[in-house]
Chain A
Amino acid sequence: SAVISQKPSRDICQRGTSLTIQCQVDSQVTMMFWYRQQPGQSLTLIATANQGSEATYESGFVIDKFPISRPNLTFSTLTVSNMSPEDSSIYLCSVFGRDSNTEAFFGQGTRLTVV
C-alpha cells in the first residue's frame, strides 16, 4: 500500500494568485499523478510526474498554468497559477503501490475555492 499526504487540505484564494499543493508519499515511487475534480464531475488527469524529468501533461493542461515539481521519489508539488474561479476544484495526488502497479492510491485531495 501507499499512504499519501496532501497539503493543504483546503484553501480559499483570491483570483490572480497562485497556490502550491504538496504531495508526500510514505514510500519511493516512480510515477506520481495529479488529477483535478471539478464540482460534480469525475476525475481528470492533469499530468504524470516522474522524478528527474519534466512532467507529461494531458491534453488541455499546460505547464505554465500547472507547473509541477518532482524533486525526489517521495514528493511532488502542483502549482495552480494565476487562478480564476474556474480553477475551483479538488486536486488529488495519486501513486501506484510500491510493489505493484496494479492498485492506484489517492490522497484525500485539496479543495480549492477561488474567489
Chain B
Amino acid sequence: DAKTTQPPSMDCAEGRAANLPCNHSTISGNEYVYWYRQIHSQGPQYIIHGLKNNETNEMASLIITEDRKSSTLILPHATLRDTAVYYCIVRATSYDKVIFGPGTSLSVIP
C-alpha cells in the first residue's frame, strides 16, 4: 500500500511559489518525510527531508503539520528548470529502501 498521496499534477507560474502537498496519514513515529524530484530523462535528485520540524535548504522548504499527517514542499520562486516530477516519500533512516509513489508532475509556466 502506498504510504503517501500526492496530486498527480500541478501548474505554477514562473517566479511564484510552488506549494506541493503530500498526505502521509499512516506515518510512524520514526519515519521521516523525504522529497525527491526527477527532471525529464535524469535520475531522481534529493531535495530535502524532515521529521517534525520545518526544514529549509538552498533548494526548498518543507513544512510538516503538527500531527505529521501531511506536509508541503515549497519552492519559493519557481523557475522553468523546476519543471519535474516531485516524489514525497516516507522512510525510516536505518537503510530503509526508497519506495517511490506516482509523484506530482509540476509544470512551471512562463
Contacts and interface: CB of A to CB of B under 8 A. Distances in A.
Interface residues of B, number: 20
A62 interface: no
A101 interface: yes
Contact of A42 (B45, B93, B100): B100
A30 B95 contact: yes
B30 interface: no
A58 B105 CA distance: 26
A10 to B, nearest CB: 10
A45 B10 CA distance: 26
The range of chain A's interface size is 20 to 34
Interface string B69-110: 000000000000000010100000111011111110000000
A104 B46 contact: yes
Given A101-B95, A108-B43, A42 B49 contact: no
Nearest to A92: B43
